Amino acid sequence: NEGSLWGGRFADGPAAAMAALSKSTQFDWVLAPYDIRASKAHAVVLNRAGLLTDDDLVAMHTGLDRLAADVASGEFAPAPTDEDVHGALERGLIERVGPQVGGRLRAGRSRNDQVATLFRMWLRDAMKRVGSGVLDVVESLAGQARTNIDVVMPGKTHLQAAQPILLSHHLLAHAQPLLRDVTRIFDLDARTAVSPYGSGALAGSSLGLDPEAIAADLGFDAAAANSIDATASRDFAAEAAFVLAMIAVDLSRLAEDVILWTTSEFGYATLADAWSTGSSIMPQKKNPDVAELTRGKSGRLIGNLAGLLATLKAQPLAYNRDLQEDKEPVFDSVAQLELLLPAVAGMVATLTFHPERMEELAPAGFTLATDIAEWLVRQGVPFRVAHEVAGASVRAAEERGVGLADLDDDTLAAIDEHLTPEVREVLTVRGSIGSRDAHGGTAPARVTEQLDEVVATVRGF
Ligand code: ARG
């Protein structure tokens, strides 16, 4: 069998069910361009080590270039008999340059060091694409924050009315974790940029090859320090699965807010037609499917991470075939985010907010009670007492069915002698928001600073 890389000691070929189980071309074919690039680099070190003549090197490179073009055009594809991307490409090379030259390429390398290297190369590119998609979502959030910079909204904890905030502050609160995710991608890349090439099956290469030269040629920062670790470890893949899942979870929390905000009960925002769907039975419906699919797919990405960790957990060193299960979860997490990120960016950028509705609800639920307590503290009252007095004010307002600002002077004085009419100065939504002006707070000046910083950070990446 021409697609096989290991027939020598076997009298019989694999059983059909064995071959079907073993086969990975249906998913590892995306590694083909990386495999060919790495093969070209490998041919160079073979030549330098005196294992490939100058003429053979030229023939090999010409053949690999033709193969790359045929892979890109779809002219060359894996055959049913090819076990994996590596076997298929060796077959393709030999078809193009003959066995005399093509049969020399595999010296000094194993699929174990190859696949670990190619996966790292693929992942480094894929994570860059994901990172740029994440930044597009951050830009959408920053754009909406800029448009709605002074819009007030009810702030909640436990989903209960808490304190008034600026909508822009809340939108940027979703941008911050996404920016941290982008820094996670950079951190991860530093650990992914280490080349296993030259580790062979597990023990290293004996043919005088140069792992460091190959590593540099393929854009890695370094060659692996330990050939056993290089072929056996997949913590880079697990870390990627975590970063991808974290991005999905961060998007999911944003999605959940959008789902709530666009209900008729909240009424904070309306989805654009292009980023929502209708119902087949209820004509009035406008459903937040982008947000719901985001929430749903985050579960899938968490599953990919958990599954990969479980695959790794009990494997002895070095390579085991279990490791072939490393790629699909990571490929899938990347593919799902490549679908989600542009959709989330589009949904966020086209949301229409309803400032009057949010402003009306901002003081509801006595959200200025903390402002009474803090005003009393500024008058010299201990916070323990101030908290009690503000609480009594809430009770009084609730009994009378009015807002805190509507309590009359006598009622205030009856609650506590310190509650003079001046307290009403802080009993406005804007006053409350403006007073939270320490670094990181919701006061307009602070949020504008934060927005500028977010935009500068995005540009700096
Ligand atoms: N297809 C395998 C993988 O994805 C690489 C081949 C290693 N196979 C082997 N028998 N050593 O991990």
**How far apart, in whole angstroms, are the C-alpha atoms of residue 246 and residue 420?**
50
Span 349-362, pLDDT tens digits? 999 999 999 999 99
> Rounded to the nearest whole angstrom, what is the distance from the C-alpha of residue 322 to the centroid of ligand 1?
9
Percent of the chain with pLDDT over 90: 93
Count: domains in the chain: 3
Span 388-445, pLDDT tens digits? 999 999 999 999 999 999 999 999 999 999 999 999 988 999 999 999 999 999 999 9
How large is the average pLDDT for residues 219-248?
98
User: Can you tell me the ipTM of this complex?
Assistant: 0.94
> Is 445 within a domain?
no
How large is the average pLDDT for residues 17-35?
97
Percent of the chain with pLDDT over 70: 99
Kindly report the CATH number assigned to the domain that includes residue 50. Answer: 1.10.275.10
> Is 247 within a domain?
yes
Confidence tier at 283 by pLDDT (50, 70, 90):
confident
| 352: β partners | 270
Kindly report the CATH number assigned to the domain that includes residue 376. Answer: 1.10.40.30
Which pair of structure tokens corresponds to residue 197? 């090439």
How large is the average pLDDT for residues 224-239?
98
> Is 448 within a domain?
no
Contact 24, 85 (CB under 8 A): yes
Neighbours of 214 (CB within 10 A): 23
Per-residue pLDDT for 5 more than 80? no
- Which residue, among 98, 24, 36, has the nearest Cα to 69 in the 3D structure? 36
**How far apart, in whole angstroms, are the C-alpha atoms of residue 451 and residue 461?**
16
| Coil, strand or helix at 68 | helix
Closest ligand 1 atom to 85 CA: 1
Considering the candidates 4, 110, 158, 280, report the single residue annotated as catalytic: 158
Q: Which residue has the tokens 């290089």?
A: 230
439 labelled catalytic:
no
Judge if the beta carbon of residue 111 lies within 6 A of ligand 1.
Answer: yes
One domain, residues 184 and 309: yes
Helical residues (DSSP H) of 218-286, grouped into ranges: 227-232, 235-261
Confidence tier at 4 by pLDDT (50, 70, 90):
confident
One domain, residues 126 and 253: yes
Identify the pLDDT of residue 52.
96
Handedness of CA 141, 145, 146, 147 (dihedral sign): positive
One domain, residues 173 and 44: no
Which pair of structure tokens corresponds to residue 287? 């459903």
Strands (E) located in 346-423? 352-353
Contact 236, 120 (CB under 8 A): yes
Span 398-411, pLDDT tens digits? 999 999 999 999 99
DSSP H/E element including 84: none
| Coil, strand or helix at 206 | coil
- Which residue, among 21, 27, 10, 87, has the nearest Cα to 330 in the 3D structure? 27
One domain, residues 268 and 318: yes
Identify the pLDDT of residue 12.
84
Mutate-to-test residue for ligand 1 from 319, 320, 326, highest number of ligand atoms within 8 A of CB: 319
- Whole domain around residue 151: which residue ranges? 112-207+230-360
Identify the pLDDT of residue 282.
84
158 labelled catalytic:
yes
One domain, residues 157 and 116: yes
How large is the average pLDDT for residues 249-270?
98
Span 327-337, pLDDT tens digits? 999 999 999 99
One domain, residues 413 and 348: no
How large is the average pLDDT for residues 280-299?
93
Residue nearest (by alpha carbon) to ligand 1 atom 10: 321
Contact 137, 251 (CB under 8 A): yes
One domain, residues 331 and 419: no
